Amino acid sequence: MNVFIAIAALLTLLVLAWLLLPLLRSSHRSGISSEGLNAAIHRDQLLALEADLARGVIHQEDFEATRDELQLRLLDDTQSTPMAPTRQGKRLLSPKATAAIVALATPLLAVGLYLQLGSPALVDPVQNPQMGEQEIRDMIAKLADRQKENPTDLKGWTMLARSYRVMGRLDDARDAFEKAGNYIDTDPDALLDYAAVLGGLQGNKLEGKPTALIEQALKVSPEHPSGLMLLGIAAYQRADYAGAVKVWEKLVSLMDPASPNAQQMQANIADARAQGKLPPADATKLPPVPAGAAAGGMTPEMINQMVERLATRLKDNPDDYTGWARLANAYKVQGKLDDAAQAFAKTGPLLTTDANLITQYADLLATRAKGDFKGQPITLINQALRIDPKQPNALMMAAQAAYQAADYAKAIGYWETVLTILPGNSPDSQQVKAEIADAKSKMGAQNKP
DSSP 202-246: TTS--TTHHHHHHHHHHHHSTT-HHHHHHHHHHHHHTT-HHHHHH
Amino acid symbol at 128: N
Calculate the alpha carbon distances from 447 to 112, 314, 378, 411, 444 in Å.
89, 54, 26, 16, 5
Alpha-carbon span 235 to 140, nearest angstrom: 34
pLDDT band at 104 (very low <50, low <70, confident <90, very high): low
pLDDT (mean) for 15-43: 50
Phi then psi for residue 442, to 5 deg, are -70, -35
Q: Is the pLDDT of residue 390 over 80?
A: yes
**371: how many CB neighbours lie within 10 A of its CB?**
11
Calculate the alpha carbon distances from 49 to 9, 46, 66, 292, 344 in Å.
21, 5, 8, 30, 34
Higher pLDDT pick, 159 / 285: 159
Q: Is the pLDDT of residue 298 over 50?
A: no
pLDDT (mean) for 315-329: 84
pLDDT value of residue 175: 93
Query: Global pTM?
Result: 0.41
pLDDT band at 81 (very low <50, low <70, confident <90, very high): very low
pLDDT value of residue 79: 39
Alpha-carbon span 66 to 175, nearest angstrom: 23
Task: Calculate ∠ Cα 27-29-32, nearest 5°.
Answer: 165
pLDDT band at 324 (very low <50, low <70, confident <90, very high): confident
pLDDT value of residue 337: 86
Task: Calculate ∠ Cα 64-232-169, nearest 5°.
Answer: 40
Instruction: Look at 61-75, 116-130, 220-234 and tell me which has the smallest mean pLDDT.
Output: 116-130
Q: Could you give the percent of the chain with pLDDT greater than 70?
A: 63
Residues 85-103 have pLDDT tens digits of 334 444 444 555 555 555 5
Residue-wise burial string across 20-31, b where 16 or more C-beta atoms lie within 10 A, e elsewhere = beebeeeeebee
pLDDT value of residue 280: 65
| Strand locations in 68-172 (E) | none
pLDDT (mean) for 345-361: 88
pLDDT value of residue 379: 92
pLDDT (mean) for 45-63: 64
Instruction: Look at 140-149, 340-349, 425-434 and tell me which has the smallest mean pLDDT.
Output: 425-434
Average pLDDT, the chain: 74
pLDDT band at 330 (very low <50, low <70, confident <90, very high): confident
Residue-wise burial string across 128-148, b where 16 or more C-beta atoms lie within 10 A, e elsewhere = eeebeeeebeebbeebbebbe
- Positive or negative, the CA dihedral 440, 446, 447, 449 is positive
pLDDT value of residue 179: 92
pLDDT (mean) for 263-290: 68
Q: Is the pLDDT of residue 45 over 70?
A: no
Question: Residue 435: CA atoms inside 13 Å, Cβ hemisphere, count?
Answer: 25
Q: Is the pLDDT of residue 288 over 50?
A: no
pLDDT (mean) for 200-212: 89
Q: Is the pLDDT of residue 78 over 50?
A: no
pLDDT band at 265 (very low <50, low <70, confident <90, very high): confident
Amino acid symbol at 370: K
Higher pLDDT pick, 127 / 447: 447
Closest CA to 195 of 184, 183, 182, 211: 211
Domains of the chain (ranges; CATH) run 1-79+96-130 (no CATH), 299-353 (1.25.40.10), 355-449 (1.25.40.10)
Distance spanning both ends of the chain, measured CA to CA? 87
pLDDT value of residue 27: 42
Task: Calculate ∠ Cα 300-257-308, nearest 5°.
Answer: 40
Higher pLDDT pick, 73 / 14: 14
Q: Is the pLDDT of residue 122 over 50?
A: no
User: Of 204-218, 246-260, 323-337, 435-449, where does the model show the most confidence?
Assistant: 204-218
pLDDT value of residue 302: 59
Q: Is the pLDDT of residue 366 over 90?
A: no
Alpha-carbon span 76 to 143, nearest angstrom: 7
Calculate the alpha carbon distances from 229 to 40, 245, 252 in Å.
29, 11, 10
Q: Is the pLDDT of residue 211 over 90?
A: yes
Q: What is the 3-state composition of the chain as percent helix, strand, coil, each rounded to the nearest 5?
A: 70, 0, 30
Q: Is the pLDDT of residue 80 over 70?
A: no
pLDDT (mean) for 348-377: 87
Task: Report how far Cα 203 is from the mean position of its chain's Cα atoms.
Answer: 15
Alpha-carbon span 307 to 362, nearest angstrom: 22
pLDDT (mean) for 27-47: 50
Residues 109-118 have pLDDT tens digits of 555 555 444 5
Helix 154-166 to helix 188-201 angle, to the nearest 10 degrees?
50
